[in-house]
Amino acid sequence: MSGESLRKGEQTQARILDAAYDLFMAQGYHGTSMRQIAERADLTLGGVYNHFASKEDIWVAVLLERHPYRAVMPLLRTAEGDTAEAFVRNAAQRLVGELSKRKDLLHLMFIELIEFNGAHIPTLYAHIAPELLPLFDVVSARAAGLRPLSLPVLARSFLGFFFSYYVTEALMPPVLRALMGDDALDAFIDIYLHGVLADGVARGELQGATTWRSEAEMHRENPLESAQSATSSFC
């Protein structure tokens, strides 16, 4: 019962981080107490302090160990597709797929931003910087099919565009999300690849091409009734 197994203390430490992660995600940092962490880790309050000196130390450990880059970067690094379009499609689907499976991933960063004003972000980036650069190489290998945008612009627009898929998922009124249907991601990818303008169209099939004009006209016909029905479905 030794050798490859973790030492007792390391197991407990991992249990504390597990408990803290779950609670932070559900209630935020200030909304979570040390007593809750201790109880969920099957430990007494005092016992926790044998492994972490403070509550904030627990947060930093959680942040460094569970930050979303850790989960997202391998997905992007191994994305498939020879052409730029196929690669972007695959990478976007992987990214959003993972984000929607694990809605907590970005949550961690938002807690850091909101409750700490990003005070630990420099520490975080110092921790993951070595993993960032190989990612650039993957993108640059497919650069031939892309317009000559700068690498930071590309990275930021790609991540931002599909991160926003997650954010709007949470922020949008349910009734609007329902109108969007299940192929919303395909429509997002399409916009990212080809833009919203109609000028250079005729690039093949367009998913998400619905009867939206008639919807809008319906709104114009009787805006008040639409507003009221929308209002009621919000609640």
Binding to its own copies, residues 95-124 (CB under 8 A): 107, 109-111, 113-115, 117-118, 121-123
Q: Give the count of beta carbons closer than 10 Å to the beta carbon of residue 91.
A: 24
Distance between CA atoms of residues 122 and 133, nearest Å: 17
Among 53, 196, 205, 221, binds its own copies (CB under 8 A): 196
> What b/e readout covers 169-203, taking b as 16+ CB neighbours within 10 angstroms?
eeeeeeeeeeebeeebbbbbbbeeeeeeeeeeeee
**Residue 232 exposed, middle or buried by CB count within 10 Å (0-12, 13-18, 19+):** exposed
Among 9, 118, 173, 223, binds DNA (CB under 7 A): 9
Binding to DNA, residues 27-56 (CB under 7 A): 32-36, 42-47, 49-51, 53-56
Among 1, 153, 182, 205, binds its own copies (CB under 8 A): 153
Residue 83 CB, shortest distance to its own copies, in Å, is: 9
Residue 7 CB, shortest distance to DNA, in Å, is: 4
Q: Is 126 in the site for its own copies (CB under 8 A)?
A: yes
Q: What residues make contact with DNA under the rule CB under 7 A?
A: 1-2, 7-10, 12, 32-36, 42-47, 49-51, 53-56
